[in-house]
Amino acid sequence: MSLQTRTLHRYRQLFPNDTLKEVSARTGIQITRVFRLFNGKTMKVGELEAFEGVIVNKISENPSFSRLNRAIDGASSLLTNEEIGKLADYVERRVAQKRFARGYISLNHQNAIIA
C-alpha cells in the first residue's frame, strides 16, 4: 500500500462522512483536485502534507494520544531494547486484534445485507 493510499485511508477513518467540499475546506486543496486524488491521481508533496496535517491535528485532540507520545519518548530513553520490544509486541497484538474484529464485524454486516 502506498503512502498516498494509507494517508487517504487514515483520513477517511477519521472523517468518514466528509463530502469532497468538506475535505477541500479542511485541507485547502481545490475540490476538483480532491476528487482526482480520491480517484487515484498522484499527490504532490504539498497535498500529502495538507492531509497529514489534518490527520495529526485530529489525532492530537485526543489527550490519551499525547500521553502515549510522552510515554513512548520516556520509554525510548529509559527502557532496555528487550523492554521496548515487549511493548512493541503488545501494541502490535492489540492493533491486530482490532483489525481482525473490524474485519469480522464488516464481513458479518455484509453477509447480513446479502441475506
Expressed as residue numbers, the domain containing 23 is: 3-60
Examine the domain organization and report whether 69 and 108 are in the same domain: yes
- The domain total for the chain is 2
Sequential DSSP letters for 41-106: PPPPHHHHHHHHHHHHHHHHTSHHHHHHHHHHHHHHHHS-HHHHHHHHHHHHHHHHHHHHHHHHHH
Instruction: Encode the chain (115 residues) as per-residue pLDDT tens digits.
Output: 799 999 999 999 999 999 999 999 999 999 999 999 999 999 999 999 999 999 999 988 888 888 888 898 999 899 999 999 999 999 999 999 988 887 766 656 555 555 5
| Shared domain check, 53 and 23 | yes
Sign of the Cα torsion 53, 54, 59, 63 reads positive
Are 52 and 68 members of one domain?
A: no
Residues 20, 48, single domain; the answer is yes
Listed residue (66, 112, 91) closest to 99, CA to CA: 91
| Contact assessment for residue 34 and residue 50, using Cβ atoms and an 8 Å cutoff | no
On whether the pTM is more than 0.75, the answer is no
Let me know whether 40 and 82 are in one domain.
no
